[in-house]
């Protein structure tokens, strides 16, 4: 299936490219990882790839600028291939710049690794990415009044494009924010701890992977770990649930949001940010049905308007807001300590 897709590979050596030619054939175009931002944009415009693969060996400010420029001018799905030993922070910076997904670079492109990469590329090729709104005028939206009693939990769902969106939302909230924030972010297994550390460094908040049984503290941020579901309980603690994937996801956004609805009803707030698919839409609907507050990110500021679109279609979102307005709305709903 993916042999029909055009793939632009950004990497320093011909070794990986030679391996991938067996998957993508003549549709594979290679450029060096030292390409400038303008050079990458030109390559995207010249070759019109369905997906861009970027090898990540370490931090690169020029590569980060290149990803930002492409995603703001001629967006195309980007997949990061993290080389062994590459700092995870380097991949997180590129995800923040607009790349959609990260996978560990296989040491050997055996049949299993090739099939996994082929499947991911085919999936990303179907994503209708939108331009990052750099310099775009912010849209205003009406806001709902603050509610009482104090909201005990905010549950946030995110997927493709989520790390950057999460950083924007958290950066707009004070450390005295009056509720714990629980996040389910779809990301490659093993990267959730790095995501938590990166969000902490970017936003100044206390962010960590959730621990089973831990009490959820106002103002702190809890990220669902890889390969387990995160739920919240009526006693205000985190619960990690082993079990099968829900809707193909482990952890599942729906599991988190539905647990918030069941545990706290009208005192819960749900947010669905950028992402592909529909995970989180039904959970958001459950929060709204039980009297909680709900919102979804708008299309103009979403990298992929999939999950928020499904939430809107279900009538799950009370408000549909541009990304820069979400933190302000949360502050109106949730008073600071």
User: Which residues carry out catalysis?
Assistant: 159, 186, 279
Q: Do 238 and 216 touch, CB atoms closer than 8 A?
A: yes
Q: Do 126 and 2 touch, CB atoms closer than 8 A?
A: no
Phi, psi torsion values for 219, nearest 5 degrees: 85, -10
Contacts of 148 (CB under 8 A, 6+ apart): none
């Amino acid at each position: 299936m993916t042999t029909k897709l055009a793939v632009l590979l950004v990497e320093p050596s011909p070794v990986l490219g030679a391996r991938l030619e067996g998957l993508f054939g003549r549709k594979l175009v290679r450029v060096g990882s030292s390409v400038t931002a303008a050079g990458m944009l030109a390559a995207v415009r010249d070759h019109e790839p369905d997906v861009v693969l970027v090898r990540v060996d370490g931090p690169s400010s020029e590569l980060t600028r290149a990803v930002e420029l492409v995603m703001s001018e001629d967006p195309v799905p980007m997949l990061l291939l993290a080389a062994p030993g590459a700092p995870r922070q380097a991949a997180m910076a590129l995800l923040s710049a607009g790349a959609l997904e990260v996978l560990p670079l296989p040491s050997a492109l055996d049949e299993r690794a090739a099939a996994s990469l082929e499947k991911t590329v085919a999936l990303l090729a179907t994503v209708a990415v939108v331009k990052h709104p750099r310099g775009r005028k912010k849209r205003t939206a009406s806001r709902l009044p603050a509610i009482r009693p104090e909201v005990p939990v905010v549950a946030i769902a995110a997927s493709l494009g989520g790390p950057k969106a999460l950083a924007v939302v958290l950066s707009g909230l004070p450390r005295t924010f009056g509720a714990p924030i629980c996040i389910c972010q779809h990301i490659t297994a093993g990267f959730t701890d790095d995501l938590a550390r990166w969000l902490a460094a970017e936003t100044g908040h206390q962010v960590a992977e959730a621990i089973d049984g831990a009490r959820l503290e106002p103002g702190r941020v809890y990220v669902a770990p890889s390969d387990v579901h995160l739920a919240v309980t009526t006693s205000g603690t985190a619960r990690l649930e082993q079990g099968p994937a829900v809707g193909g996801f482990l952890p599942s956004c729906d599991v988190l949001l539905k647990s918030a609805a069941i545990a706290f009803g009208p005192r819960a707030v749900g947010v669905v940010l950028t992402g592909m698919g529909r995970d989180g839409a039904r959970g958001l609907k459950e929060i709204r049905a039980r009297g909680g507050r709900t919102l979804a990110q708008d299309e103009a500021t979403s990298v992929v308007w999939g999950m928020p679109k499904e939430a809107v279609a279900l009538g799950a979102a009370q408000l549909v807001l541009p990304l820069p307005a979400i933190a302000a709305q949360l502050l109106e709903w949730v008073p600071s300590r």
